[in-house]
Every structure is written in structure tokens, then in C-alpha cells.
A and B are shown apart, each in its own frame.
Chain A
Amino acid sequence: GNSVTQMEGPVTLSEEAFLTINCTYTATGYPSLFWYVQYPGEGLQLLLKATKADDKGSNKGFEATYRKETTSFHLEKGSVQVSDSAVYFCALSPEWGNTPLVFGKGTRLSVIA
């Protein structure tokens, strides 16, 4: 079946540090891939997405590249800020059928000044 595995948290970084949150997936065909972010006390919101192999999604300084050969979609940011503290979810939407999003378990990021 379809599944998403992302690195366990929590992740604690100092401001301006480089961020990587690993995400790998299992799915047949070419799913669409997403990163969602959940700020404290809020619902999830879409951060970025990629719909085909080698696509790079980007938003707010975050990037992720759809790697079909390694079935990965790692989230990166060159210089994190305190305001990036949140929970990050990797998700996929299967290529076929009317099936819902599959989420990873989330990674909590804390950025300290």
C-alpha cells in the first residue's frame, strides 16, 4: 500500500542553521508529493508540492525535490528562523484512483534564537 515515512523529531536548531527533514515514500506509479506545515494552535497548511519526478517545490525559502529513483522528497531550508518552529508533515496523493492523502507522522521543529 501507500505510505510515507519521515524522520522522527523533535528537531532543535539554532537560528540561521541549515534544515533537512527526510521523507521517503512507498507508492506505485507517480504520486504527487506535498509538505504541509502546522504552526502552534493552527491547522495544517500547504507549504509546497511537486507533481512529477525531478520537480522542485519551493515556498518561503523551503525547497523539496521529487526524487523518483530514491522515492524521496526531503525538505530543506538554508537558514531557519524562530518563526519556522512548527510541525512539518510529508504527504502523498496516489496517482490512481480516488484515494485520499497519505500523511507521515510529522516532525516537530524548534528553532532557538
Chain B
Amino acid sequence: GAGVSQSPRYKVAKRGQDVALRCDPISGHVSLFWYQQALGQGPEFLTYFQNEAQLDKSGLPSDRFFAERPEGSVSTLKIQRTQQEDSAVYLCASSISGRDSEQYFGPGTRLTVT
């Protein structure tokens, strides 16, 4: 079956622009996660949804970052007024449930802020 998909795969933004990154989780997966992977680093947790509820947003680096999942399926990560330090790969993952089930990762969106 289809895995987690993300779009766009690559995004170049000028500093100060707003961007929106989309994640389509595996159908039926209740939980959805966003991670940020800077160059040469491991992924770092950003936020967690269970259905449409955002249960943990402790990893969002600033109030310029905002995530939503209004219908409990597709999720969008929005970054306002992008800065160069936002350049990274943004990974989305989904799982059947949150706590004990495997997280399946999408291919990521590589964001470059110039």
C-alpha cells in the first residue's frame, strides 16, 4: 500500500517568505509526527498529533512554526518569515497509534532558505 507522502520534495524560499509543507499519512493512522533534520544531524522532534488534536508541540523552535491537522488526516507544517536557520529536511511520520507502534517516515521536504 501507499506509504507516507510529502510535498513538495524540495522547496527554495527567500528569507522572510512563508512556506507550507504537506504530509499525507498512511490511511487509518491515528498519529502523526513532524521532525526537523538539519544537515549532518539526526531528526529532532517538532510536534505530535493524535487525530486532529495537537498533543505536543514542545519541539517547535519558535512561534513562526505552526502545524495543523484539521480533519485528522493530512497535515501541514507552516513556517512564517523563514530564516536561514530554518533550512533543513522536514520529515513526517505516522503510526497506527501513538505510544507503542512503529513510526513510518515519509521521504521528507528539503527546505533551503536563501
Do A and B assemble together?
A: no
Residues of A whose CB lies within 8 Å of any CB of B are none
Residues of B whose CB lies within 8 Å of any CB of A are none
